[in-house]
Amino acid sequence: MIVAGDRKDTPFVGIIDEVLTTEAPFIAGIISKQVARFGPSWIDAFEKDLSIFFAGNVEGLRTATRGYIRFALDGMLLQKRFDKTGKYEAKTYEQASLEVYQNERYMHSLYLPGIYLSHFLWRHHYLQQLFFAERFVPLVRKHGGTKFYDVGVGTGFYSRECLRELPELTGHGFDLSSHSLSHTRKMVDAFGLSNRYQASLQDILADPPKEQAPFLINIEVLEHLEDPLSFLKGLYRILAPGGLGLIAAAVTAPNADHIYLYRSAQEVVDQVQQAGFNVIEFRDDAAYDPRTPQESVPRNALLLVSKGND
């Protein structure tokens, strides 16, 4: 864990470390593990992110950290159950939506803070962030397009990153949760990027955007759906010919709102290709190393895709 002296240099990360140490000792070492794995650049990036998003709101950061603790604990318990059954809990999308996406208290006190902090605190999520910056962003710059769609915005993290890393772009985010959209607006506003972004409560299958976009982001939505292939085909239709996309899906990662079980990254690749996309490159990252050969581990399948011109 961070020692007291280090907290002076990274006060916002220090607050998270303090809350984890006092309230969740079972995961208190995660910050020191990430520093050891990714080096000082990781903690510098995390501190900068937190200092902007939680500027003047230290208590809000403490509350978010407590939400992350509950989010992580729920995931651990569900992972153990998954090890025994090999299945996700049977649930329809409508049930998951009522329980999670339309539940204001759950979304803002647990789900959204948990996912936001996981972008830095979880190994596979931070590797995803690095891939976005090192592989996706340069290709977008080279392409020359000027607009992206983020379908299933979640916390708004990747909408914000696109706007921040690519100042030539405008963006449009779509989601079916008003709570995700409000968090996304807060995220984009905090970084001073709202003038290049709009967000819509909109089903892109029932009501697709009128224009195709040259770039598309879809981060960990597929596992939330009963029929991800139909959704992927919808994504394909709204991506312009010659366009690029970044698609991620959770693999063997039970959660309160995960419905469709991918048992391998290759299953995601196959489905994305079936929808019509060309897979340029993909990653398969584990959240942590399994302690036994029998233990399942949440994984992240991350695909850099394109759409042909024909």
Span 215-261, pLDDT tens digits: 999 999 999 999 999 999 999 999 999 999 999 999 999 999 999 99
Count of other CB atoms within 10 angstroms of residue 110: 21
Do 247 and 142 lie in one domain? The reply is yes
| CB contact set of 262 (below 8 Å; sequence gap of 6+) | 222, 223, 249, 250, 251, 252, 268, 301
Single out the residue in 88, 104, 132 at which a domain terminates. 88
Question: Does 252 reside within a domain?
Answer: yes
Question: Does 93 reside within a domain?
Answer: no
At 309 the pLDDT is 82
Q: Which DSSP state fits 99? A: I
3 pLDDT more than 80:
no
Question: Does 97 reside within a domain?
Answer: no
Rounded Cα distance, 272 and 274, in Å: 5
- Could you list the residue range(s) of the whole structural domain that residue 225 is in? 123-306
Burial of 92 (0-12, 13-18, 19+ CB in 10 A): exposed
Do 199 and 293 lie in one domain? The reply is yes
Rounded Cα distance, 265 and 128, in Å: 14
Please report, to the nearest 10 degrees, the dihedral formed by the alpha carbons of residues 69, 74, 176, 124 taken in order.
70
Question: Does 24 reside within a domain?
Answer: yes
pLDDT digits (tens, 9 = 90+) for 128-145: 999 999 999 999 999 999
Do 280 and 148 lie in one domain? The reply is yes
Higher pLDDT, 7 or 38: 38
Say what percent of the chain tops pLDDT 90: 94
At 239 the pLDDT is 98
List the alpha helices (DSSP H) in the chain.
4-9, 11-23, 30-38, 40-53, 58-85, 93-96, 104-106, 112-121, 123-131, 137-143, 157-165, 178-190, 228-238, 265-274
Single out the residue in 88, 113, 131 at which a domain terminates. 88
Residue 216's region, left for phi above 0, alpha for psi from -120 to 50, else beta, is beta
Rounded Cα distance, 290 and 287, in Å: 9
At 9 the pLDDT is 86
187 pLDDT more than 80:
yes
Do 237 and 282 lie in one domain? The reply is yes
At 4 the pLDDT is 37
Count up the domains in the chain and report the number: 2
pLDDT digits (tens, 9 = 90+) for 53-89: 999 899 999 999 999 999 999 999 999 999 999 999 9
Higher pLDDT, 6 or 290: 290
Question: Does 205 reside within a domain?
Answer: yes
**Mapping DSSP to helix (H, G, I), strand (E, B) and coil, where does residue 215 land?**
strand
In the predicted model, what is the mean pLDDT of the chain? Answer: 95
CB 259 within 8 A of CB 232: no
179: domain CATH number is 3.40.50.150
Report, as an integer, the average pLDDT of 173-181: 98
Do 144 and 257 lie in one domain? The reply is yes
Report, as an integer, the average pLDDT of 152-172: 98
The model carries a pTM of: 0.95
| Amino acid identity at 190 | A
At 285 the pLDDT is 97
Q: Which DSSP state fits 175? A: E
At 198 the pLDDT is 97
CB 260 within 8 A of CB 225: yes
Question: Does 118 reside within a domain?
Answer: no
Phi, psi (deg, nearest 5) at residue 308:
-65, 165
Do 180 and 257 lie in one domain? The reply is yes
5 pLDDT more than 70:
no
Report, as an integer, the average pLDDT of 32-49: 96
At 7 the pLDDT is 58
Single out the residue in 66, 88, 110 at which a domain terminates. 88
Do 164 and 78 lie in one domain? The reply is no
Question: Does 110 reside within a domain?
Answer: no
Question: Does 53 reside within a domain?
Answer: yes
23 pLDDT more than 50:
yes
Do 154 and 230 lie in one domain? The reply is yes
Identify the H or E element spanning 279: strand 278-286
At 294 the pLDDT is 84
pLDDT digits (tens, 9 = 90+) for 296-309: 999 999 999 999 98
Rounded Cα distance, 283 and 303, in Å: 7
Q: How sure is the predictor about 310, in pLDDT bands with cuts at 50, 70 and 90?
A: low
Beta bridge partners of 2: none
Do 150 and 290 lie in one domain? The reply is yes
Do 134 and 268 lie in one domain? The reply is yes
Do 38 and 155 lie in one domain? The reply is no
Do 129 and 48 lie in one domain? The reply is no
Strand residues in 213-267 grouped as ranges (E): 213-219, 239-251
pLDDT digits (tens, 9 = 90+) for 99-124: 999 999 999 999 999 999 999 999 99
At 83 the pLDDT is 94
